[in-house]
Amino acid sequence: MSFVQGLKCRECAREYPTEPIHVCEFCFGPLEVRYDYEGIKRALTREVIESRPANMWRYRELIPIDGDPTVGLDNGFTPLVRAKNLGAALGLNNLYLKNDSVCHPTLSFKDRVVAAAVNKAVEFGYDTIACASTGNLANSVASHAASAGLKSYIFIPSDLESSKILGTSIYDTKIISIKGSYDDVNRFCSEVATVFPWAFVNINIRPFYGDGSKTFGYEIAEQLGWRAPDNVITPVAGSSLITKIHKAFKEFESLGLIGEVKTKIFAAQATGCSPVTTAIKAGVDDFKPVKPNTIAKSIAIGNPADGYYGIKVARGTGGWGEDVSDPEIVDAIKLLARTEGIFTETAGGVAVGVTKKLIEQGRIGKDEITVISITGQGLKTTEAVEDHLRAPVVIEPKLSVFKDIQSDL
Ligand SMILES: *Cc1c(COP(=O)(O)O)cnc(C)c1O
Ligand SMILES: [Zn+2]
């Protein structure tokens, strides 16, 4: 049974049927999914959720598909790690990491949005899935299309990390590498989408895609023992995840699943691509598009689709935005690895590095419950750190040689 009632314009509130559309015809505002929250409130209790398998579909009433999911059945429900060592290094007593660097099946939080989008695309009757991607979306769309037996076309900027390309081509998809930035790729895909009858997960299927992100927030609240944290720090690209984490907490609050939500939401970007955090710091309502130049390629979107709403969420919740330089990103990746044994990609380094800055600025209290969003896997962005690590020591297999060098290691 589905609780989806249709779509609704976020700006003018005009209602639309459940169709593969994403922009309001009247005001060009983004469309969002409308739910029957009264019905969901009766159906979805803590007990019902807890009785279900540990994957994102335990919140299925709040994910916009009509029938049972047919693909991505095991995605989500990643660990919420109590980060005592990193907390001690940063001076926090109640620090947690929401670790989507191990999300099934392609090791980033994009497996949540793609599972929602591809299931919806199948319900709409599409046989071809497509996307404009900064890398992780490419991996996830190609993987889900393969397992669903669908065709896929993946559009990427030509300067992506080699593991992100390899981790897409392995699924035998069609990759189109565009000479330009992600923003050029996205603009081009909007044109392609008007001619080819494909499900572009982050264009015409975007309202359904976005709601997959909410499960990241639901899980944090459930895993904290049914409460929202005091602070969440999240890397921002198109600004979908940051707005949907907030929406997730507010939905749980209005469904009576958790108490009053006072969570401050913090936006984290790389200094080389920081339209959202620059606007937050400047105190303006909207961002100025930028040309990205950073090692954090997965979040290098200079013209973020939901940037306006990301700024609003950070400001409206009493949060803030900060950015970190490329060397600070590398340091933060290494800090997380040596304190918690978690290897995150550049976007996770951005979140950890920004958290450090926010603590130094006094914006996060030491006893507050703080969650850092670790959204992707370090093995996908090895280029970022490979020149900054200690090399292995090469020796002959002789005990005497080892004894000589051991104390210098
Ligand atoms: C896409 C992505 C984000 C941010 O996503 P948006 O919802 O577009 O803001 C963060 N981290 C990683 C690793 C990503 O791939
Ligand atoms: Zn409208």
CATH number at residue 242: 3.40.50.1100
In a domain, 393, yes or no: no
Q: 105: cis peptide before it, omega within 30°?
A: yes
Q: Nearest to residue 98, comparing CAs of 77, 80, 112, 83? A: 80
The pLDDT of residue 262 is 98
pLDDT band at 207 (very low <50, low <70, confident <90, very high): very high
Q: Report angle CA 46, 49, 53 to the nearest 5 degrees.
A: 150
Q: What pLDDT, on a 0 to 100 scale, did the predictor assign at position 402?
A: 96
Label residue 114 exposed, middle or buried (CB < 10 Å: 0-12, 13-18, 19+). buried
Ligand 1 lined by 122 (C-beta under 6 Å): no
For residues 169 and 135, the answer to whether their CB atoms sit within 8 Å is no
203 inside domain: no
When divided into structural domains, the chain yields a total of: 1
Report the distance separating Cα 330 and Cα 100, nearest Å. 19
Q: What is the DSSP string of 209-232?
A: HHHHTHHHHHHHHHHTTS---SEE
Region of 186 on the Ramachandran plot (φ > 0 left; ψ -120 to 50 alpha; else beta): alpha
The pLDDT value given to residue 409: 87
Ligand 1: which of 106, 215, 299, 345 to mutate, judged by most atoms within 8 Å of the beta carbon?
A: 299
**62 assigned to some structural domain:** no
Global pTM? 0.97
Ligand 1, from 186, 375, 380: best to mutate by most atoms within 8 Å of Cβ? 375
**Cα 48 to ligand 1 centre (Å):** 30
For residue range 59-99, list pLDDT tens digits in order.
999 999 999 999 999 999 999 999 999 999 999 999 999 99
How far is Cα of residue 39 from the mean position of the Cα atoms in its chain?
28
User: Does residue 254 form part of some domain?
Assistant: yes
Decide whether any atom of ligand 1 lies within 6 Å of the 353 Cβ: no
Residue 300 is predicted with a pLDDT of 96
pLDDT value, residue 1: 72
- Where residue 88 falls (left for φ over 0; alpha for ψ -120 to 50; beta otherwise) is alpha
How far is the centre of ligand 1, averaged over its atoms, from the C-alpha of 114 (Å)?
12
Q: Angle at the Cα of 148 (from 237 to 344), degrees rounded to 5?
A: 35
- 300 inside domain: yes
Answer for the pair 378, 337: CB distance below 8 angstroms, yes or no: yes
Q: Is residue 173 part of a domain?
A: no
Is residue 395 in some structural domain?
no
The per-residue pLDDT of the chain, averaged, comes to 97
- No. of H helices and E strands in the chain? 15, 13
| Structural domain for 244, as ranges | 80-106+211-388
For residue 336, being part of any structural domain is answered with yes
pLDDT over 70 percentage in the chain: 100
* Per-residue model confidence as pLDDT tens digits over 231-258: 999 999 999 999 999 999 999 999 999 9
4-32 pLDDT per residue, tens: 999 999 999 999 999 999 999 999 999 99
Residue 395, burial from CB neighbour count under 10 angstroms (0-12, 13-18, 19+): exposed
